[in-house]
Structure 1
Amino acid sequence: MTQKMHPLSELSLKLESWLQSWLGVRPHRLPGAARSGAREPAASAGPTYVDPNPHFEILALGSRSGIIDGNLSAYMIRPLNRNEAVLCDAGTVGNGLKLAQASGTLDDIPLPPDPDSSLDLAGRVLTETIRAYCISHAHLDHVAGLVLTSPDDTPKPIYLLPQTRKLIAENLFNNEIWGNMGNMGARPALGKYTYRDMTPGEVQEIPHTSFRLQAWPLSHGNLTSTAFLLDSDGQKLLYLGDTQHDQAGGEHQLLTLWHHVAPAIRARRLHGLMIETTYPNSQPVTQLRAHLTPRLLLASLHQLADICGGERPLEGLNVICTHVKETFARDAHPVETIEKELNEGNDLGVHFLMARQGERYLV
């Protein structure tokens, strides 16, 4: 049964959001969003964060990396007040939707009434609201949910770079590990999912949505990962899959990406940047496994600021930090540690938010 928020709490959140917009105050986490010492805060129906002028809702169906198999990278992104969404990565899908249903965070999606449907709310959001997948790379913590929910899903396009499509078609949807749900590869091909290969920088329109999509490659060890730029009604949101810092003498994929998105930042049309921060600064450089730390992320954001030009060009930019790796280490709190290190080094005026499963961010 869907849990409803207490009317007074709901009124408080609505009033908070209205005051933010009316007074033009600096964006912040809403009351109760931060819970000291909590490894993974419980979701609530109200948003965790509200920008003064939001266009998108980001719902973290899964936000972590590593050992938490029920909480892996998957972000449902939809324009506010619309029954349409895309899923950026799909490490955890079914579990994330079930948790969101239980907490009430799916209740404001304007699904049309369907008394004849046999599906619960989570099932209807999967089959009706989510219109496409954007898969950054083929590591299991980014695709496991896509595979596991596929028998209950409806036909959809999957947007990805050709390198990623090849790995998924050959190693997951191959009629050996799992039935071939795609439209290419091993026969028989069931064709539930249609692969849409992306060319870097090329714009593709996602059918039955207001979204236009662009993709650029990212370096991630021996794999190519992907950054997706989502555009709805001229408003933009940037999602990056796993990425490493640009290496001296190597490819400079992040620098190339920053040049492409800088105009949207200068025009104040980029509502948020979602980027991994997998390890705290204490992680040895030799054990980063092609990921970022707060120190490396801040260095890259400084590059972005230099490209944008002007005085403090990133001030107020929402930077949602994803993919924090869980650990078995005693008394370790990586989310809190990374958040502290980011804020201590933040001389850019960006607004850091740590992604947590079940939480909603209006940006």
Structure 2
Amino acid sequence: MKRLLSTIFLISSLISYAEGFELVTLGSDGGVFDGNISGYLLKSKSEENFVALDAGTVLPGIKKGLEKNSFKNITIPKDTEWNDIGYIFREKIKGYLISHAHLDHISGLVVSSTEDTKKEIYGLKSTIDTLKNNVFNWQLWPNFANEGEGFKLNQYTYKELSPLNEVSINGTTLKVRSFPLSHSNYESTMFLIENNGEYLAYYGDVGPDKVEKSNGLDESFKVLGPLLKEKKLKAIMIESSFENSKQDKDLFGHLTPKWIDTELENLERYSGKGNLKGLNIVITHIKPSLKKNENMREKIEKELVDNNRFGVQYHFPVQGDLLEF
């Protein structure tokens, strides 16, 4: 009987541990077409509440996700007064993790704020200060937050994150730690999201450490390496804004496939040789081209896949897509 109970306990523990994440792509591009830029929804598979990872696009992405059945695990009450887009937006997104306050990462949050509900906005001090002083200030936009200039509508509550300190995301089972990054000498963020012992790393815009003369990526890899070695890291989301032909002087704080390869080599130093094999890497922030007969997404995908010497699993989601890890 004791052996049976121990077996049941072990199985139940494994089931509760292996929850995993669901990721819905609200906006996959790094510009220049509005309506599909820099935004994702993340949740644990064991719950229905999301946190947004940046918010360049929000409502158009929810609409596309519904069309693709990417919210198949969300129960929408029949008696709600809201349509499906409104219900998910108002009721199921519990907060926003903003990596930095550049327009292509916040425009969806700002424009849709007039129909939003009370939520938290999480970010490093530099991000919160920009939102407070330059966005929700009654000049660019009404002050929907709890701090800043003029009358405060108190719809959003700023939650300033301290680097490395873990914070619970209200309304979800998720927790987050923040890591400063350099984005053309402007501060961006890597968010390390944890749920019941499993992790997902989301990088905002970031340039190569060597080009940026920074150690932001290196410092984050020191934390990710052991998690990867222990098989606790489910996925990394990181940008490749440009193709390999882009010169370093023109990167302006972004990555290319060759620089991703270089940075993965550094990550392997901290995780151990061979431990990157099978790692899910979601490529974000691909900048579309306006040139004839040039598909930047296809070009970047080919450059990454053809030089995949670490055996990682690359993903290239487009708007509305659901990924499960």
Task: List per-residue Cα deviations over 1:157-214 (Å, max 9, x = no partner).
Answer: 1110000111111111111111001111111111111111111100001122110110
Q: Which residue of 2 aligns with 1:326?
A: 288
Q: Which residue of 2 aligns with 1:358?
A: 320
Cα offset for 1:248? 6.3
1:84 paired to 2:49: yes
TM superposition score normalised by structure 2: 0.92
**Number of corresponding residues:** 308
Contact 2:225–2:271 (CA under 8 A) maintained in structure 1? yes
Superposition pairs of residues 264-283 of structure 1, within 5 angstroms: 264-283=227-246
- Residues 1:255 and 2:222 are matched in the alignment: no
Partner in structure 2 of residue 44 of structure 1: none
Q: How far 1:232 moved relative to its partner?
A: 0.9
1:56 aligned to which of 12, 17, 21: 21
Amino acid at match of 1:362: E
| Number of the residue aligned with 1:348 | 310
Which residue does the alignment assign to 2:40? 75
Larger mean CA deviation between 56-65 and 95-104 belongs to 95-104
Determine the C-alpha separation between the residues in 2 that align with 1:54 and 1:270. 13
**Aligned-pair distance for 1:218?**
0.5
Separation in 1, partners of 2:78, 2:227: 39
Q: 1:248 and 1:323, CA in 2 relative to 1: closer, same or farther beyond 3 A? A: closer
Structure 1 runs of 4+ with >6 Å offset? none
Calculate the aligned-residue CA RMSD, in Å. 1.3
Q: Contact (CA 8 Å) 1:318, 1:351: kept in 2 or not?
A: yes
1:165 and 2:128 correspond: yes
* 2:174 matched residue in structure 1: 211
Determine whether 1:100 maps to 2:62.
Answer: no
Q: Deviations over 1:287-323 (max 9, x none)?
A: 11110000001100110001112x3111100000000
Aligned-pair CA distance for 1:355:
2.5
- 2:19, 2:306 → 1: CA distance? 27
- Secondary structure of 1:89's counterpart equals strand
| Per-residue Cα deviation, 1:244-274 (whole angstroms, up to 9, x for no partner) | 0002692211000000121211110110000
User: Shift of the alpha carbon at 1:241?
Assistant: 0.2
1:348–1:54 Cα change, 3 Å:
farther
SS at match of 1:279: coil
Deviates more, 1:160-169 or 1:76-85: 76-85
Which position in structure 1 is the counterpart of 2:248?
Answer: 285
Q: Is the 8 A contact 1:182 1:193 kept in 2?
A: yes
- The structure that is helix-richer by fraction is 2
Residues 1-363 of structure 1: pairs in structure 2 closer than 5 A:
55-111=20-76, 113-115=77-79, 117-247=80-210, 250-309=213-272, 311-363=273-325
8 A contact 2:182–2:212 mirrored in 1: no
Matches of 1:248 and 1:337 in 2, distance apart? 23
Report the alpha carbon displacement of residue 135 of structure 1 after superposing the two structures with TM. 0.1
- Cα pair 2:212 2:253 within 8 Å, conserved: no
Question: Which SS does the other structure have where 2:154 is aligned?
Answer: coil
Structure 1, unpaired ranges of 5+: 1-52
Letter in 1 for 2:322: R
Q: How much identity, in percent, do the aligned residues show?
A: 35
Amino acid of the structure 2 residue aligned with 1:94: L
Gaps of 5+ in 2: 1-17
Name the amino acid aligned to 2:178.
A
What is the one-letter code of the residue matched to 1:287?
A: D
Structure 2 Cα separation of the partners of residues 355 and 57 of structure 1:
13
How far apart, in 2, do the equivalents of 1:249 and 1:299 lie?
14
Task: Name the SS for the 2:209 alignment partner.
Answer: coil
SS in 1 for 2:210: coil
Q: Is the 8 A contact 1:81 1:109 kept in 2?
A: no
- Counterpart residue number, 1:31: none
Alpha-carbon distance between aligned partners in 2 of 1:317 and 1:227, rounded to the nearest angstrom: 17
d(CA) in 2 for partners of 1:234 and 1:110?
26
Deviation for aligned residue 1:130: 0.8
Q: How far has the Cα of 1:114 moved from its partner?
A: 4.7
CA distance in 2, matches of 1:175, 1:136: 23
